[in-house]
Amino acid sequence: MRYKRLFLAGDAAHIVPPTGAKGLNLAASDAYYLAQAISAVFNSKNESLIDSYSDRCLKRIWKAERFSWYMTSLLHKFPNDDLFSQRIQGAEIDYVANSKAMQMALAENYIGLPL
Ligand SMILES: Cc1cc2nc3c(=O)[nH]c(=O)nc-3n(C[C@H](O)[C@H](O)[C@H](O)COP(=O)(O)OP(=O)(O)OC[C@H]3O[C@@H](n4cnc5c(N)ncnc54)[C@H](O)[C@@H]3O)c2cc1C
């Protein structure tokens, strides 16, 4: 998300399918990390946050990418899916609908992971 003195944030750096509703959340957390990092450079001449900007963001981004991918595979029908894949999808939906543990994990991801 960095090239020399150019920093990317939000959709310009990464794109997610809408199923996880994560695009704006990620853009806001990138901006939060970047603002912290720029402030540290100008106020304390500390470059550690700017140097770790990409890594800090990407840790969060890949979790959101994973969740968005999971929600897409849970909620969409794909024309090339064979019977096995359709049954697995049905079993997954049944599991989400009936397991408190799974519902908590899904809610944790939907609400948003900590910054
Ligand atoms: C229908 C829809 C529903 C969504 N629902 C959700 C949701 O529920 N939850 C969620 O978290 N995310 C959601 N998103 C995703 C979210 O809107 C985006 O991920 C988020 O807005 C990205 O923010 P950004 O600042 O990176 O980009 P943008 O919001 O796209 O901002 C980029 C800005 O740059 C401007 N711009 C472009 N080119 C130039 C130029 N050459 N010069 C000057 N300005 C320029 C554009 O006009 C725009 O204002 C949704 C998106 C869509 C389309």
User: Can you give the length of the chain in residues?
Assistant: 115
Residue 38 CA, ligand 1 centroid: distance in Å: 22
Phi/psi at 6 (nearest 5 deg)? -100, 130
Distance 13 CA to ligand 1 centre (A): 12
| Domain spans of the chain, in order of start | 22-111
Residue 10, H or E segment: none
Asked if residue 49 lies in contact with residue 40, where contact means CB atoms within 8 angstroms, the answer is: yes
| 3-state SS class at 12 | helix
pLDDT one-digit tens code per residue, 8-44? 999 999 999 999 999 999 999 999 999 999 999 999 9
pLDDT digits (tens, 9 = 90+) for 65-95: 999 999 999 999 999 999 999 999 999 999 9
Q: What is the C-alpha to C-alpha distance for residues 66 and 38, in angstroms, rounded to an integer? A: 28
Measured from the CB, is residue 19 less than 6 Å from ligand 1? Answer: no
